[in-house]
Structures are given as C-alpha cells and as structure tokens.
Amino acid sequence: QGANGTLYERQLQALLNLVVKPRNKVCELLISARVGGVDSWVARSRGKAKSVAPPVTKSRAKDQAVSRKLARAKPVQGNDEKLHAALEEVPQLTHLNASQREAVSAALQQTCAVIQGPPGTGKTHVSVQILKMWARSLGLSPLLATSDSNVAVDNIAMGLQAQGVKVLRVGRPEKVNRIIDEITLETALTRELQRAEEELAKEEGQERDSADEGGAPPEKAKAAKDEEGRRKAKGLTPKMRFELQMRVLRSAEVICATSIAAGGDFFSRFSFAGILIDEAAQATELATLVPICRGAAQVVLCGDQCQ
C-alpha cells in the first residue's frame, strides 16, 4: 500500500510492457543483455518453459555481441547534418576534459552509452552537457533526465537551469530542493492558471463592453462562461488539471523526475527521444525499466561502477 504499492505497480507494469509491447532498439538491447530474464517470462506465459529463471546456455557470448552492436548503433531518429555539426562542437567544450568530451560524443551518436566514474569526476556536468546538446544541437524532444535519487535529479535540474535550458522538475514538492522551486511543475501550473485567469478576466471585460454598446457578445467569451472552463474560485476539474499539466510538460526541453515518478499517468502520453539515467548503479533493474519503457529512442546510463 502507499508508496511501496506505487513502486511495485509501476515496476511490474514496466516489465509487462517490455514483454507484450512492440520493442524498439533500446528494448531489444535490454533483452539481449538479459535484463529481468524477460524472454523466459514470455516463454513461460506461452507454456514453453517451466521456470522464469533465465536459462544457462552457450549463447551468452552471442548475446553480448548483439548487445554491443545495438548499443553502438546509430539512433533511428538521427539527422546526419545535425549530428555532424554537434560532433564538431564537442572539441570546443573546453570546460570538459578529454574523457568527458569522449563521453559526450558517444552519447550523441549511439543508441545507448554508459558513462562511469568515481565521485568527483564530473559525471553530472557531463550529463547536463549531453542533455543540452540533445535539445539544442540535435533538436531532440521530449527528453527525460531521471534517477532513483531525488538529490541526483535536483542536481541535474539545477545544472540545466544554470545553462539556460528550459527544464521542468516533476515530483512531490516536499521531496524537491526548494532552491529549484521556480522550475517545478506545481509552480509552472500556478503561473499558467494565473495567466488563464487574466485572459478570462480580459475576455469578460470585453464582453461587458460589447453588451453595453448593444452588440452581441463574442463567441469566444460565450465559451469562456462555461462553468467547466472558468471555475476560478473552485479550482480546476481533474480533466482540466491533467490537460494543463500536459501543456506545461510539452513546453519543456527537458523533464526531470525520479525513475518511479516517470511511471505516473501523465507520462503515459510521452515517448521520449532521449533518456538519461543518473546514478544508474544505485538503481535496480526494475526501477530503470520504468522510464526506459516510456519508449526511449536513446539512453545514457551514468554512474559509479563500484557502487
């Protein structure tokens, strides 16, 4: 029940999606890497296997070769001209060292990249640079930055904000660092609601002016008088709030949320062009499946391999 119930349900749903839905390159990569033993789940569901445990076979080396090939494959969404221009920008990133620039280059041109290093080696700076170049240089959208840790998500959100990237932090307000309150979903919703109320007040004023002059009220003002469309005092209906959330989310270049939060209902309408998972070594396989199964075309896993 509660948080644990949500965690279980979203991880289970992600695993089921991986089993039953059509697989893109990233999902095929997960299968070849034997994540979660998914193929044996499928076999069991079809009555072809008695155990969900992945079988021990001599095909392990072949699977690893397939995994490497899929990971290094050029993303299907790629634009050759934009990619070439972006790769030419990488040597000019003088605030990064040689190995960091190499990591950025790999993330730009591969379906899956793994960036590893101990604490203090600048992984967060590299993550921010990758997301920025995905958005600005390659024009990819929407993008998701995620982690099992709220602190890690906040750090990436702060880095993106400092770089001028239009970022939106999604999550429970009490779990988010107050320093970045300005870029949270709740704050953005409040701004949108205030703007909508100001527009409605302006329309109502125009309607009154038109009525005073003996003219017919504009059609737009009539629609605005609908109870569902103008409930300022009583707040938004669930449907209106959901639609407003979607509009705000789609306006962001990068959405930042924890891996489990990425399993929320309003993320179900997104298929992300790129997903970056920070502190990947601290997360379970199932936790990382939740964001990846949102349809990622490119994935970057970043973390400390010794954790």
Q: H or E stretch including 144?
A: strand 143-147
C-alpha dihedral over 215, 221, 226, 230, to 10 degrees? -140
- Over the stretch 204-236, which tens digit does the pLDDT of each residue have? 676 666 555 555 455 554 445 444 444 443 466
> Which pTM was predicted?
0.80
Number of H helices, E strands in the chain: 12, 6
Closest CA to 166 of 252, 90, 101: 252
Closest CA to 154 of 182, 115, 180: 180
Predicted local distance difference test score (pLDDT) of residue 245: 86
Predicted local distance difference test score (pLDDT) of residue 19: 81
- Over the stretch 80-117, which tens digit does the pLDDT of each residue have? 899 999 999 999 999 999 999 999 999 999 999 999 99
Overall average pLDDT of the 143-160 stretch: 96
Overall average pLDDT of the 284-299 stretch: 88
Overall average pLDDT of the 110-138 stretch: 95
- Over the stretch 42-87, which tens digit does the pLDDT of each residue have? 555 556 555 555 555 556 677 778 888 888 888 866 688 999 999 9
